[in-house]
């Protein structure tokens, strides 16, 4: 089965933009990037573009590969305490010298937009994107499926899932965990 993503993407964009425009304060995504990995830089650029398109703000915190791990963790602690920031992404992979688990565990679970900790109230964006696409047909498949997401759709679904979680806080069953 082939799903044409353009109408699906446009529908999600309209829904989210309508919500964010109606908010007193739009959601803010903090992006922690360490190093100069070309794929990571490209991916982050796309996340920033989508966030802006959807009426949100993306704040990039870019560290050199020579940065001190404590400096990164201290920034994450400040982000955790900042009530204006709705969610945090630590862009992986981190350079080899860093303890990835230690840095990810510094992210407050209620702000872990990628659910890299495993205990975040956010559904992993990749899982959510695939599940949303499969269910968009109105006929979820029960046999083995191999969804393939284009870069723009995957990026949109990542940001849109995060934004849906942030914009639905009043209705979220996770309010007590935030």
| Residue 121 located in a structural domain | yes
CATH number reported for the structural domain that contains residue 67 in this entry: 3.40.50.10860
Task: Report pLDDT for 2.
Answer: 67
As a whole number of angstroms, the distance between CA 154 and CA 132 comes to 11
How many structural domains comprise the chain?
1
pLDDT band at 167 (very low <50, low <70, confident <90, very high): very low
In a domain, 172, yes or no: no
Domain of residue 52 covers 5-166
- Residues 159, 19, 107, 63, Cα dihedral to 10°: 60
Within-domain flag for 174:
no
Residue 176: inside a domain? no
Residue 174 has pLDDT above 60, yes or no: no
Percent of the chain topping pLDDT 70: 74
Dump pLDDT digits (tens) for 59-74. 999 999 999 999 999 9
Across 23-32, 119-128, 158-167, which has the greatest mean pLDDT?
23-32
Tell me the pLDDT tens digit for each residue of 83-126.
Answer: 999 999 999 999 999 999 999 999 999 999 988 888 888 877 77
DSSP the chain: ----HHHHHHHHHHHHHHHHHTSSS--EEEEEEES--HHHHHHHHHHHHHHHHTT-EEEEEEE-TT--HHHHHHHHHHHHH-TT--EEEE-SPPPTTS-HHHHHHTS-GGGBTT--SS--SSPPHHHHHHHHHHHHTSS---S-------HHHHHHHHHHHHHHHHHTGGG-TTGGG-
């Amino acid at each position: 089965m082939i799903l044409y993503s353009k109408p699906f993407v446009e529908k999600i964009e309209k829904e989210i933009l309508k919500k964010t425009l109606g908010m007193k304060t739009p959601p803010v995504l903090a992006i922690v990037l360490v190093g100069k990995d070309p794929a990571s830089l490209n991916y982050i650029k796309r996340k920033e573009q989508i966030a802006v398109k959807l009426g949100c703000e993306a704040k990039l915190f870019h560290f050199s590969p020579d940065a001190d791990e404590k400096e990164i963790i201290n920034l994450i602690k400040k982000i955790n305490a900042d009530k204006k920031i709705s969610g945090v992404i630590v862009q992986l992979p981190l350079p080899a010298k860093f303890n990835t688990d230690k840095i990810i565990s510094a992210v407050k679970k209620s702000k872990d937009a990628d659910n890299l900790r495993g205990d975040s109230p956010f559904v992993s964006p990749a899982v959510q994107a695939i599940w949303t696409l499969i269910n968009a047909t109105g006929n979820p498949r029960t046999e083995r499926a191999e969804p393939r997401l284009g870069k723009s759709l995957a990026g949109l679904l990542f940001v849109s899932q995060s934004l849906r979680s942030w914009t639905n806080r009043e209705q979220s069953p996770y309010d007590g965990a935030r």
